[in-house]
Amino acid sequence: MDLNVEIKDSKIIISWQDIGADFYRVFCKKDGIFLECAKVFEGTSLRLSLLPYGENECFVQAVKNGCVIDESKKHEFLFDIVDVEYRLEGDNIKFFYGSCKGAEGYRLYRNEEGVGFNGCKNSDTCFLSIKKGEEKEFKIKPFIKDGDGRKFLASSKEISVTENKFESLSVYKSYNYNLFLSWNYKGNADGFLIFAQHSNKPAFEINDGLCHYLPIYDYKGSTKFVVKAFVNTVNGRLILAESNPVSLTIRRYKKPLVSLIIPAYNAQDYIARSIDSALASDFSDLEIIIVNDGSTDDTQKIIDWYVTNYPNVISLVKENGGVADARNVGIEAAKGDYIAFMDNDDLIRPDMISKLYNSIEKNNCDVAVAPLYRILDNGYTTHCNLPFLEDIPINIDKYLEIMYTPGYYNCAIWNKLYKASIVKEHPLGLLKYEDVSWTPCILSYAKKFCFLKTPFYEWDRKTRPQTFGDVLAKMPEDELFENRKQAMLFFVKNGNPEKIDFLKEIAKRRLKRYAKKSTNPAYYELIDIIDDGRY
């Protein structure tokens, strides 16, 4: 069984090949003895914190039916930094750090304004606590005594004590009167433990540090829940933060300031999850418009349940006409000052709408943009991470200049908040490549945009791996080209005439990308046609 160890941001990520075991046991060496750090039941990787400083070893065992069926070779690696975690405890900060062989003590330094890092406390164990103050940056240094002074053996990076806290936690009714739990955790966790209050044993365990949603069955609405964030360490799990207890929350809604449009088609297996994540938004004046695009399963039954139970959920039903047509029906009905989009198998994080709304209002922009997560079996990857300063007004030309350049190909429709008046004037084209065709078009009518660097939208390819994009890619070459051609011509013809040079360049970039993977000469012919204005 192959094993790989990657050191990243003072943590290690241990990964191995999947051989079909029931679970995997991860061992690390500490004080000359191999200790089991974790059992991994899902996935083939583990992030570990607080490793000892210096030379280390680890290995993994595969277990099936109670027996070890394979074991990796022992992997040696050098860990040359002191790793630190912290927990806020009332008025105190408690620091935890990896041990350093031979150290006689550990000294905490804090960054004091006008002074710099100054030593403030010693410990002879691998943890210490201090009172919270104005200081936010700290360091830990292991030392040995050297006469009347100290000789430092190593150092941690600067630790910024600004995170490791739950910013929100809520419990709402989910479909068929079940419950769902949603939280917004700020920090770098490996997973979460969910407890029914007053229980010492977790009711649920989540080994996903970016998770923020959990469906709950067979619990009463009066039950209070507590969520705890943890990291995996060589000594087991370390709790970094604990939420306040919360029970069933009443959704408050006054008027629609933002309309979130969700097209739905035969989505009975996953749409409740998507609606739940929208309902968990911390933006109270959110109108959720679900457009049933001619579903033939129980999608409408689920939507009707939410309409009955939540005043901010609106249902629209139409004959099947495709996702672009469904979005346009939602656009026409939207009452909010701003419009956002979501697909019926994706999730949004609880603070997405509020953060984008606050930025677009503050900066008086037409569009607010943020990165997004793409979720596959091997985890999360970040897309649409643009090279712009955060939370300031930016001329839309800067965005158009980089669209479809290497690294910025993604044209996602859902990671943005748009001024409704612009969207209503320029609805989507009824095309196969509806996002590719519409995104450059609508952006060309904006004057300013603002950008936030935090991913809020989750493009989930794990729940439903087969997407319409995959269907398009399997089309015959001539049909595929024709659909792409119509998408390019849509935004060139329907975009802002004042931005035509940008739009033509965007189309040519995209066509050149398609042409690299095709033997069809028509792509280059279309590039010449667009370049000459003969479209």
The pLDDT value recorded for residue 484 is 95
pLDDT at 468 over 90: no
- How far the first Cα of the chain sits from its last, in Å, is 57
Phi, psi angle pair for 491, to nearest 5°: -80, -25
**Is residue 119 within 8 Å of residue 155, measured between CB atoms?**
no
**Is residue 104 within 8 Å of residue 35, measured between CB atoms?**
no
pLDDT digits (tens, 9 = 90+) for 252-276: 898 999 999 999 999 999 999 999 9
The pLDDT value recorded for residue 136 is 87
The pLDDT value recorded for residue 377 is 81
407 contact partners, CB below 8 Å, separation of at least 6:
none
Per-residue confidence band for 145, with pLDDT thresholds at 50, 70 and 90 = very high
Domain 3-79: give its CATH architecture. Sandwich (2.60)
Share of the chain above pLDDT 90, in %: 88
Task: Please tell me if the domain spanning 3-79 has the same topology as the one spanning 258-460.
Answer: no
Calpha distance 478→133 (Å, rounded): 66
pLDDT digits (tens, 9 = 90+) for 510-519: 999 999 989 8
Q: What is the mean pLDDT of residues 288-312?
A: 97
Calpha distance 372→390 (Å, rounded): 15
Least Cα distance to 251 among 282, 273, 227, 222 occurs for: 282
Residue-range domain boundaries for the chain: 3-79, 84-160, 172-184+191-242, 258-460, 473-532
Per-residue confidence band for 85, with pLDDT thresholds at 50, 70 and 90 = very high
- Cβ burial, residue 70 (10 Å; 0-12/13-18/19+): middle
The pLDDT value recorded for residue 197 is 85
Expressed in percent and rounded to 5, the helix, strand and coil fractions of the chain are 25, 40, 35
**What are the residues facing 97 on neighbouring strands?**
84
Q: What is the mean pLDDT of residues 70-85?
A: 95
Q: What is the CA radius of gyration of the chain?
A: 26
Q: Which numeric CATH code is attached to 84-160?
A: 2.60.40.10
pLDDT at 372 over 60: yes
The pLDDT value recorded for residue 471 is 67
The pLDDT value recorded for residue 530 is 95
267 contact partners, CB below 8 Å, separation of at least 6:
274, 295, 297, 299, 344, 345
pTM here is 0.93
β-pairing verdict for 149-152 and 137-146: antiparallel
**Is residue 26 within 8 Å of residue 40, measured between CB atoms?**
yes
HEC profile of 177-227: HEEEEEEEEECCCCEEEEEECCCCCCCEEECCCCCCEEEECCCCCCCCEEE
Least Cα distance to 511 among 500, 501, 520, 502 occurs for: 520
**Is residue 98 within 8 Å of residue 83, measured between CB atoms?**
yes
β-pairing verdict for 338-341 and 258-264: parallel
Share of the chain above pLDDT 70, in %: 98
The pLDDT value recorded for residue 504 is 97
User: Which segment of 295-309, 376-390, 456-470 scores lowest on mean pLDDT?
Assistant: 456-470
Calpha distance 230→190 (Å, rounded): 6
pLDDT digits (tens, 9 = 90+) for 208-253: 999 999 999 999 999 999 999 999 999 999 999 999 999 999 888 9
Could you say which DSSP state residue 335 is in?
-
Name the average pLDDT for the chain: 94
pLDDT digits (tens, 9 = 90+) for 402-419: 999 988 988 899 999 999
- Cβ burial, residue 165 (10 Å; 0-12/13-18/19+): middle
pLDDT at 472 over 70: no
The pLDDT value recorded for residue 114 is 81
- Cβ burial, residue 400 (10 Å; 0-12/13-18/19+): buried
The pLDDT value recorded for residue 411 is 85
Q: Which numeric CATH code is attached to 258-460?
A: 3.90.550.10
Least Cα distance to 369 among 418, 423, 437, 407 occurs for: 418
Which tops the pLDDT comparison, 226 or 473?
226
Calpha distance 326→316 (Å, rounded): 9
Which tops the pLDDT comparison, 133 or 294?
294
pLDDT digits (tens, 9 = 90+) for 478-506: 999 999 999 999 999 999 999 999 999 99
Could you say which DSSP state residue 65 is in?
T
The pLDDT value recorded for residue 302 is 98
Q: What is the mean pLDDT of residues 323-336?
A: 98
Residue type, position 296, single letter: T
User: Which segment of 174-178, 452-456, 470-474, 528-532 scores lowest on mean pLDDT?
Assistant: 470-474
- The H or E element that residue 259 is part of is strand 258-264
